[in-house]
Structure 1
Amino acid sequence: MTNMYSSGESGAGTQGLTDAPAGARAGRLGAKDVVFFVIAAAAPLGFAVGSTPLAIGRGGIGTAGMFLVVGVLLAIFAVGYTAMTRFVPNAGALFSYIAAGLGRPLGLGTAFVAVLAYAIAATGAIGPFAVFASQALASMTGVQTSWVPWAFGALAAMGVLGVLNVELNIRVLGVIMVVEVVVLIVLSVAIVFAGGAEGLSLQPFRPDTVVGGEIGVVLLFVFAAFAGFEATALFREEVRNPVATVRKATFASIGLIAVFQALVTWAIVQGFGSSAVAVANEKPTEMFTMAASQYVGTGFADVITLLVVGSWFASILAFHNATARYLYALGRDRAINPVFAKKSKRSGSVWVASLAHTLFSAIVLLFCVWQGLDPYLDLFIVGSVPVAVSIPAMELLTAISIIAFFWRDSRGVSWWEGKVAPAISAVALAVFVYFVLSNLPMFTGREGAINWILPSINLVALALGISRALWMRRHRPAEYQLIGHWGER
Structure 2
Amino acid sequence: MTDRSSNTATVPDGRGPKGAPSGTLSARHIIFFVIAAAAPLGFAVGSIPLAIGRGGIGTAAMFIIAGGFLALFAVGYVAMTRFVPNAGALFSYITAGLGRPLGIGVAFVAAISYALVSAGAVGPFAVFAEQTAQSLFGVAVPWPVWALAGILVMGLLGQLNVELNMRVLGFFMIAEVTVLAILGVAVVSQGVASGISMEALSPAAIAEGQIGVVLLFVFAAFAGFEATALFREEAKHPVRTLRRATFGSIAVIALLQSFVAWYIVQAFGATVVDVANATPTEMFAIASRQYVGDWFANVVTVLVVLSWFASVSAFHNATTRYLVALSRDGVIPAIFTRRSRRTNAPWVASLTHSLFALVLIVLCILAGLDPYLDLFILGSVPVAVSIPAMELLTAIAVVTFFLRDRRGQSPWAVYVAPAVSAIALAIVVYLVLANMEFYTAQTGPINWILPGINLVVLGIGVARALWMRSRTPHLYDRIGRFGLE
If the TM-score is normalised by the length of the shorter chain, which range does it land in?
over 0.9
Q: Which residue of 2 aligns with 1:395?
A: 391
Please give the alpha-carbon distance, in whole angstroms, between the structure 1 residues aligned to 2:391 and 2:483. Answer: 21
Partner of 1:436: 432
Counterpart position of 2:342: 346
Specify the SS of the correspondent of 2:419. helix
Match of residue 227 from structure 2: 231
TM superposition shift of 1:370: 1.1
Residue from 442, 446, 455 that aligns with 1:446: 442
Out of 207, 211, 216, the position equivalent to 2:207 is: 211
Counting only pairs closer than 5 Å after superposition, residues 183-202 of structure 1 correspond to structure 2 as: 183-202=179-198
1:135 aligns with 131
The question of 1:47 aligning with 2:74 is answered: no
The one-letter code sitting in structure 2 at the alignment partner of 1:469 is A
Equivalent position of 1:56 in the other structure: 52
Which segment drifts farther, 27-36 or 377-386?
377-386
Residue 102 to residue 9, structure 1, CA distance change in 2 (3 Å): closer
Residues 6 and 99 of structure 1, relative CA distance in 2, 3 Å threshold: closer
Pair 1:383 & 2:383 matched? no
8 Å Cα contact 2:49/2:280 also seen in 1: yes
1:400-425 deviations in whole A, cap 9, x for unaligned? 00010111211111110010000000
Alpha-carbon distance in structure 2 between the residues aligned to 1:421 and 1:204: 28
Q: Structure 1 stretch 204-213 or stretch 326-335: which is displaced more?
A: 204-213
Q: Which residue identity does 1:446 align to in structure 2?
A: Q
1:88, 1:486 within 8 Å by CA — same for their partners in 2? no
Do residues 310 (structure 1) and 303 (structure 2) align?
Answer: no
| Structure 2 residue 249 is the aligned partner of structure 1 residue 245 | no
Given that residues 7 and 83 in structure 2 are in contact (C-alpha distance below 8 angstroms), is that contact kept between their aligned partners in structure 1? no
Q: Measure the CA separation in 1 of the matches of 2:169 and 2:34.
A: 10
Match of 1:322 in 2: 318
The question of whether the paired residues in 2 share the 8 Å contact of 1:187 and 1:292 is answered with yes
How far off is 1:486 after superposition?
7.6
What percent identity do the matched residue pairs reach? Answer: 61
Query: How far did residue 46 of structure 1 move?
Result: 0.6
208-217 or 442-451: bigger deviation = 208-217
| Alpha-carbon shift at residue 383 of structure 1 (Å) | 3.3
- CA displacement at 1:279 relative to structure 2: 1.1
Tell me, in whole angstroms, the C-alpha distance in 1 between the residues paired with 2:473 and 2:19. 24
Structure 1: runs of 5 or more not aligned: none
Q: What's the CA shift for 1:458?
A: 0.3
Measure how far apart 1:115 and its partner are. 0.1
Partner letter of residue 31 of structure 1?
Answer: A
SS in 2 for 1:112: helix
Please, what is the CA RMSD of the aligned residues? 1.9
Counterpart of 2:473 in structure 1 is: 477
Distance in 1 of aligned mates of 2:120 and 2:217: 16
> Aligned pair 1:82/2:78, yes or no?
yes
Q: Distance in 2 between matches of 1:342 and 1:292?
A: 47
Verify the 8 A CA contact 2:91 2:107 in the aligned structure 1.
Answer: yes
In structure 2, the CA distance between the partners of 1:8 and 1:376, relative to structure 1 (3 Å rule), is: closer
CA distance in structure 2 between the aligned counterparts of 1:449 and 1:101, rounded to whole angstroms: 34
Give the AA of the match of 1:479: L
1:138, 1:36 → 2: CA distance? 31
User: d(CA) in 1 for partners of 2:53 and 2:7?
Assistant: 53
Change (3 A) 1:242 1:9: closer
CA deviation string 1:37-78 (max 9, x = no partner): 000000010100111111111111111100000000000000
Q: Which amino acid aligns with 2:43?
A: F
SS in 2 for 1:407: coil
Q: Distance in 2 between matches of 1:313 and 1:177?
A: 11
Uncovered stretches (5+) of structure 2, i.e. residues with no partner = none
Q: CA, structure 1 residues 27+432, in 2 after alignment: closer, same or farther (shift >3 Å)?
A: same
SS, match of residue 469 in structure 2: helix
Measure the CA separation in 2 of the matches of 1:91 and 1:320. Answer: 16
Cα offset for 1:194? 1.7
Mapping of 1:141-220 within 5 angstroms?
A: 141-220=137-216
Q: Secondary structure at the match of 2:273?
A: helix
Measured against aligned partners, the alpha-carbon deviations of 1:327-361 in whole angstroms (never above 9, x if no partner) come to: 01111111001111111122111000000000110
Q: Deviations over 1:69-114 (max 9, x none)?
A: 0000000000000000011111111000000000000000000000
Contact 1:7–1:482 (Cα < 8 Å) also in 2: no
Q: Are 1:269 and 2:273 counterparts?
A: no
1:195 Cα offset (Å): 2.2
Shift of 1:481: 1.6
Q: 1:35 to 1:10 in 2, by over 3 A?
A: closer
Pick aligned residue for 1:30 from 9, 26, 31: 26
Listed one character per residue, the Cα deviations across residues 378-406 of structure 1 (whole Å, up to 9, x for unaligned) are 11134311110000000000000001011
Q: 2:294 aligns with which of 279, 295, 298?
A: 298
**What is the letter of the counterpart of residue 33 of structure 1?**
H
Among candidates 94, 100, 106, match of residue 102 of structure 2 = 106
Task: State the distance in 2 between where 1:247 and 1:488 align.
Answer: 21
Contact 2:18–2:484 at 8 Å: present in 1 too? no
C-alpha separation between the residues in 1 aligned to 2:71 and 2:210? 24
TM-score, normalised by the number of residues in structure 2: 0.96
Question: Over residues 101-140 of structure 1, what are the superposed CA-to-partner deviations in whole Å (9 max), with x where a residue is unaligned?
Answer: 0000000000000001110111111011101111111111
Asked whether the 8 Å contact 1:134–1:150 carries over to 2, the reply is: yes
Distance 1:6 1:247, change over 3 A: closer
Cα contact 1:107–1:484 (8 A) shared by 2: no
Q: Is the 8 A contact 2:124 2:308 kept in 1?
A: yes
Q: Distance in 1 between matches of 2:204 and 2:198?
A: 12
Provide closer, same or farther for how the CA distance between residues 262 and 10 of structure 1 changes in structure 2, counting only shifts above 3 A. Answer: closer
Name the residue aligned to 1:465: 461
C-alpha distance after superposition, 1:248-278 (max 9, x if no partner): 0000000000001000110011101111111
Shift of 1:175: 0.7
